[in-house]
A and B are shown apart, each in its own frame.
Chain A
Amino acid sequence: MRHRLLPSLLSFAAAVAVTLLTVAPASAQAQNVAAKPAAAATNSGSKTWTAPKTPDGVPDLQGVWTNQTSVPLERPPALGAKEFYTPDELAKKEEQDNAAAARRAEAGESGVHYDVAQFGLDRSHSKTGVTERTSIIVGPDGKVPPLLPAAQQRQAARQAANRGHQWDGPENRALGERCILWPNEGPPMLPEGYNSNMQIVQGPGYVAIEQEMIHDTRVIPTDGRAHVAKNVRLYLGDSVGHWEGNTLVVDTTNFTDRTAFRGSSENLHVIERFTRTADDTILYQFTIDDPTTWDKPWSGELPITKINSQIYEYACQEGNYGMRNILSGARATEKAEAAKQ
């Protein structure tokens, strides 16, 4: 029993962890021409590379990918308007990030939490796409624009309504705890921290994207059809795609008002662009538009990187002991507090 967890398994894990930290220089260079995805698609690094096509003759985005990336959504304030690291700065940053991640993994979790590193859920055990960008959000500001007054009020009202009630019942908990929707599923699809993976399968006229958490599969038609009726509101919105050269452009509307992406309303409108820039990289760009939340659209981009693995089932609802335990714990706390008085 002692040797069930074979030493070879551990050394395999070690080899995998080391390999996964390697940066693919091609993807970093591709980010510099992010504004012109068509050009990037045919020229990656110093090799001439042609974007592959499916047997139907459309760009091939298929495979198992991760959108885990080393760059934050918003730019660290100290960097001001600096949009790109130099290669030297990037190398240094990567080194610092990896060292910090290693320290965190060694220190383990504080408080009442399982050790993420033990389960391989920390940064060192996942492939991380690298980009020279200093933030996912592009442009001189590098951050989410301020909310319009009406949007601020909306957010404040929502928080006020839940204050003092956050443990009352399942409706007071976050969508992720209820296994309805994971925080960064989007669209836009943003890194989740772990299991940040997706599988893309293409059939004639469709691009299917399955996000690992919570196994939601966006089946996107590529015929540029109309969206569903206005009164049909969906957590992931309604996505319609079309091809522009080598880029898949996806337009999503019909969100509910509960997704609240960075404070957005049900009028959220997301445009995504997927362009394969290398065998192991998709350039993912998105524009966020909601005139009832922000006074102007804002955009971001990040690399989606191929992983040599598969998606595993993330059956959240089925295994959600947590919701029961959270509510049970809250009731126990209330009972204990009442007993003190």
Chain B
Amino acid sequence: MRKMIAVAIAGAGLLLVTAPVWAHHAFAQEFDEKKPLKLQGTVTKWELINPHSWIHINVKNADGTTTEWMVEGGSPNNLFRMGFTRDSLPPGTVIVIDGYQAKDGSSRAVGKDLTFTDGRRLFLSGSAPGANGDEK
């Protein structure tokens, strides 16, 4: 996505519709690309807030203990516009997060891929709904 960043600064070409350029920088300071992780856990809380939503999950560790993680996502406002509500991801739901851990080593992550245990994506599949095999 270096190309995307370069284009955004120059102001030429397509008007980009992802988060502003500076956000990429800031994410790199928050999360560590050298610390990819995969978490499976039970939703305890879904903070439908801005500028980023946060999914809190309880993850069972290998040694039997549990850790509460919080996972950063996007602004929920467009999810609302599409009919999602706070009831769309109830506590108790088991989900899988593919992402990166916080740079400061805390139990915080950014979630790139959010799915149910059967692989279906949590919210929207992409620009062509149904292309990933979701029900229509």
Decide yes or no whether A74 CB sits under 8 A from chain B.
yes
A314–B88 Cα distance when bound, in Å, is: 20
Q: Are A119 and B124 in contact (CB under 8 A)?
A: yes
Residues from chain B with Cβ under 8 Å of A120 in the complex: 78-79, 81-82, 123-124
A10-B128 in contact given A74-B11, A120-B81, A126-B78 (Cβ < 8 Å)? no
Q: Nearest Cβ distance between residue A172 and chain B, in whole angstroms?
A: 12
A106-B131 in contact given A112-B27, A167-B29 (Cβ < 8 Å)? yes
A193-B18 in contact given A120-B78, A329-B29 (Cβ < 8 Å)? yes
Stretch at the interface among A23-31, A246-254, A285-293, A317-325: A317-325
Q: Are A316 and B51 in contact (CB under 8 A)?
A: yes
Least CB separation from A319: chain B residue? B49
Residues from chain B with Cβ under 8 Å of A183 in the complex: 20
Chain A: residues with Cβ within 8 Å of the partner, total of 84
Q: Are A70 and B15 in contact (CB under 8 A)?
A: yes
A212–B77 Cα distance when bound, in Å, is: 9
Which of the residues B28, B50, B76, B88 comes within 8 Å of A112, measured between beta carbons?
A: B28
Q: Are A116 and B18 in contact (CB under 8 A)?
A: yes
Q: Nearest Cβ distance between residue B38 and chain A, in whole angstroms?
A: 15
Q: Nearest Cβ distance between residue B19 and chain A, in whole angstroms?
A: 7
Q: Are A13 and B51 in contact (CB under 8 A)?
A: no
A329-B103 in contact given A105-B126, A123-B127 (Cβ < 8 Å)? yes
Least CB separation from A327: chain B residue? B29
Decide yes or no whether A147 CB sits under 8 A from chain B.
no
Q: Mark A247-271, 1 if CB is under 8 A from B, else 0.
A: 0000000000000000000000000
Residues from chain B with Cβ under 8 Å of A143 in the complex: 11
Decide yes or no whether B104 CB sits under 8 A from chain A.
yes
Which of the residues A9, A16, A112, A177 comes within 8 Å of B32, measured between beta carbons?
A: A112
B interface secondary structure, majority: loop
Q: Are B15 and A71 in contact (CB under 8 A)?
A: yes
Decide yes or no whether B60 CB sits under 8 A from chain A.
no
Residues from chain A with Cβ under 8 Å of B93 in the complex: 1, 4
Q: Are B51 and A319 in contact (CB under 8 A)?
A: yes
Q: Are B84 and A117 in contact (CB under 8 A)?
A: no
Residues from chain A with Cβ under 8 Å of B15 in the complex: 69-73, 191, 193
Which has the most chain A C-beta neighbours within 10 Å: B18, B31, B84, B89?
A: B18
Residues from chain B with Cβ under 8 Å of A4 in the complex: 87-90, 93
Given contacts A111-B27, A123-B127, 20 further A-B contacts (CB under 8 A): A9-B84, A13-B124, A71-B15, A102-B127, A105-B128, A106-B127, A109-B18, A113-B27, A114-B110, A115-B113, A117-B125, A119-B75, A120-B82, A121-B17, A194-B17, A194-B75, A312-B80, A314-B77, A319-B52, A329-B31
Chain A interface residues toward B at CB < 8 A: 1-2, 4-5, 7, 9-14, 16-17, 68-77, 97, 100-102, 104-106, 108-126, 143-144, 167, 173-174, 176-177, 179, 183, 191-195, 212-213, 309, 312-316, 318-322, 325-326, 328-333
Chain B interface residues toward A at CB < 8 A: 1, 10-20, 22-24, 26-33, 47, 49-54, 72-84, 87-90, 92-94, 99-100, 102-106, 108, 110-114, 116, 118, 121-131, 134-136
Residue contacts A-B, CB under 8 angstroms, 29 given: A2-B116, A4-B89, A10-B130, A13-B83, A69-B15, A72-B11, A100-B14, A101-B127, A108-B126, A109-B18, A109-B112, A111-B27, A111-B28, A112-B30, A113-B23, A118-B124, A118-B125, A119-B73, A121-B19, A121-B75, A122-B17, A124-B126, A125-B82, A143-B11, A167-B29, A193-B18, A329-B102, A330-B29, A332-B103
